[in-house]
Amino acid sequence: MSDTARQTGSFLWRLAHGRSLELGPAAVIMGVLNVTPDSFSDGGRFLAPDAAVEQALRMVEEGAAIVDIGGESTRPRFAPVEAAEEQQRIMPVIEAIAARSDVLISVDTWRAETARLAVAAGAHIVNDIWALQKDPEIASVVAETGAGAVLMHNSRDRETEPDLIADQFLFLSRSLKIAREAGIGAEHIVLDPGFGFGKETAEINLELVARFEELHALGAPLLAGTSRKRFIGTVTGRDPDHRAVGTAATSVALRLAGAVLFRVHDVAINADALRMADAILAQRSRR
């Protein structure tokens, strides 16, 4: 295993509101909070603001350093919502969490205006499933606010390269160029290979797990977002509500391959699994 994959180094991720987060020495968990009626595994459970805030605080207690809040489902064949509805769902939740906790808040959106309002309300990170390539104004919002940015590879609705890693480099290199031209510093960027987003078969997603270390050549910290994804269900035979153990297995594999940030629904089980992965990495680094 390469030195890069061991993640013995440290990267200080610069975020909005003067905050930062150290990535590398220990796995960091981003808890998923879908304030939607139709997300693939937890749709409707946290649509009410009070329920969403309590879930956020529960995830913090279980070990999440970041809570990622989304107001539009991004599951396959999802029904898009208008920006106003997305904002109506998430803004009260962001404001309430910011008032009750110092946890880092991420907003899961591709819309520039939603991102701008969310950061003004207390969010620190913009998590864009289109990696700055859908709304031409969102890169400027990230640059102006100093937010951290998660740029995710997305294979939906476009022609892709035959080799999945070549396509990762093609798509994400374009996003990194957009970020540079907008004035977003490298210290603000994390990359996400986008498990499940246009990657329709279990074989493709498993290949992405197996070849994950190749993505370090992009030169940015890497996020793993496998939580409850369909390919885990294909392998385990479990429905979305019972894929926590399968998710934790992929979290460990990806941590050993160099991922530093993990976006998950089931925080406690992944926190335990990642502590074990970190202990293994620490032992290897001492040898």
Catalytic residues: 229, 263
d(CA 110, CA 131): 8
Residue with tokens 């937010």: 147
- How long is the chain? 287
| Amino acid letter, residue 145 | T
Query: Which amino acid belongs to residue 196?
Result: G
Cα(64)–Cα(261) distance, integer angstroms:
10
**Alpha-carbon distance values, 142 to 122, 167, 220 (Å):** 14, 25, 17
Q: What is the DSSP code string of 155-215?
A: -TTS---SSHHHHHHHHHHHHHHHHHHHT--GGGEEEE--TTSS--SHHHHHHHHHTGGGG
CB atoms within 10 A of CB 111: 24
